[in-house]
Structure formats: structure tokens, C-alpha cells
Structure 1
Amino acid sequence: MRKVICILATGLLFISVSCKGEKKDEAKPEAEKTTEKATTTDEKVKKVKFALTSKSDSDVTGNVVFVEKYGIVTMTALMEGLTPGKHAIHIHAKADCSSPDGKSTGGHWNPTAQPHGKWGAATGYHKGDIGNFDADDKGNGTITFQTDQWCIGCDDDTKNIIGKAIIVHQGTDDLTSQPSGAAGARVSCGGIIQ
């Protein structure tokens, strides 16, 4: 009788250990699924970061970051070396900052052939008409701009900012003068390149 009890106890122990092993194997694929979901979510975020270099004998430099998340692009630009006061910032047509005056970038990025104006104006505006920002007494300026009318590397030529440039101007965009807002010299430039 003792032999039978020992055999049954050993069998139950074996079954118990086997079942625990199966539960561990089942848990492993679940953890892998969680990791895949996190990766998929991260792929929806696109980012481009680049430096701004001085143009037109200025000392204006800085950094720009574009982040696209769920169809919204946020631009954050930090600049230094500016004269205190208001300055214009635009997206220009070409990511070519090779000329000393920044004019190698061409005119404002305007893929929908609209007149220059204030962003969102019913009378029209360029997709590159970001607007004005303030530089403080030390010559530092910051601007954050957000829109669903841009994208980073998509197939829509009327929204894709890759291959364009950021230009910071010496003066203020009056938001009406054609075709550029009479914002003055191009004092800093950076190509939007992935």
C-alpha cells in the first residue's frame, strides 16, 4: 500500500511541475505582445532636429526640432544672437543654406500657391508663413508652432516639410507685403533634412 501511495504522490508532483512549466511558457508570449504594442506606438512619432547657422554677417544661431505625433507637427525653435525685439521665421522652399545671405533657400514654401499672409487668414497664407516671435534683451528667442498642415516625410507634397529650410529674418513680418512680408535680411538658416 505504501508503494502505491508513493507512486501516486510522485505522479502528482510530476504533473504539478509540468503544469507550472506550461503556465510560464504561456506568459512569455503575452509579454512579447506588450513589447510589440509599445514599438508600434513609438513608430507613430517622427522627429527631425537640426542647427541654425548664421547668415548675412549676423551672429544668429540656434536649434530647431520638428516632432510629428498622431498627425500633428510641433516645431520648437531656440535662437540666440538676435537683436532684441520681433523677428520673422518662415519655412522656405529649399534645404540649401549654402549662400552667405541665405537666399539659396528660395522663397517661402508655398505649395498651394496662396498669397503671403498671417497663418490661418481667410485671404490666404503660405504653408511656410509661421509668423513672428520676440527676442529678449539678451538676444534670445523661442517659438513653438503646431499644425496638422505639415508632415514629416509623408507622400503629400502640400504638407511634407522635408527638403525645406527654416529662415530667421532680421525684421518683423508685416503679414501683408507680397510675397514675403518685408521681413528683411535672412540672418539664420537650417535645412530640414532627415
Structure 2
Amino acid sequence: MHVHAYEKIWLALSIVLILLLLGSVTYGAVGPGIAMVSDQQDPLDPEALDEDDRFAEPRVEQVGENEYEAYVVAYQFNFDPDPIVVPANSEVTFYITSPDVIHGFEVVGTNANTMVIPGEVAEITVQANEPREYGIVCNEYCGAAHHGMEGTLEVVPEEEYEQRTAAEADDGGEDA
């Protein structure tokens, strides 16, 4: 059987396009910086977040030299804490959960992007190198005011971070 030259070209082009599509889907699923919601942590009771030590008081805490953990609660239609303040030249691991509905958590301008599911803890890490302000947005429709659900990640110089931390500690001591 004789196949015309143009048919061979179109057949080869079709095969190449199919392989490119499969490659892009595979890369999107396992590419660098892509993290799925982990099932390695125990599920939480989304109605009892105030009983969980990590999320009772959402906060940022230092866990090592230039390493921080941020415990964030996404709820209709805010993030807590907001703003999230960390020093420059640090690595921040976010632990995010929700008490109400599915939300998204995207640090705009980075590859940090995850789904936040009630009762689950999403974990994602960001390198905060230069002092600047990043927007945080919910990119999963979560209700009527979804369009206004945004927060801020403030990466500040290390000296400013130390001053803010000291001032918060002083304020906390006076309120007690």
C-alpha cells in the first residue's frame, strides 16, 4: 500500500503534537515546585481548629536559622494571620487549613500554590530572599465575596523583622 508524502507528514505532525501534549500534562503533574495536599498528616476537625495547637493562634514562628513556619487559617473571606511577616533571606514553610470550605492559597509571583481543604493541612515552602511584598490570593471559588479574599506576605529586612518581633513581644507582655 502506498501512502502519499503529505499524509506521512501530517501523520508525523499528529504524533509529535500528541507526544507534546502528554509531555506537558506529565510535567504539570510532577514538575518542580508542584506539591499536592499531603495525606501524611492526621486530618483535623475543621470545626475545632481552636483546639489544635498549630491553628488555635495562627502565627509565624522561627524553627531554625533562617527557617520559619507559618500557620495559616483560610476562611470565608480572609486569611489569618494577615499580613504574614517574615525576614529576608529565609525559608518559610506554610501550613494552611480551613474551617469552612475549599480555598486556594497562592503567593503571587512565586510557584507557591496549593488547595486548602477543610480538615486537611496543606504544606508548601517558599524562599523569601529579597525584601518585598507579595500578594496572597484565594484561587478556588469559595463564595460570594471570593473576589476580595486576599492577604499579604511581607518580606522585610532582618533588622526590621527583629524590631517588629520585639515590639509585639512588648505589647503581649503589657496585655497579660
Q: TM-score, normalised by structure 2?
A: 0.32
Q: Greater share of helix residues, 1 or 2?
A: 2
Which protein is bigger by CA-based radius of gyration? 1
Q: TM-score, normalised by structure 1?
A: 0.30
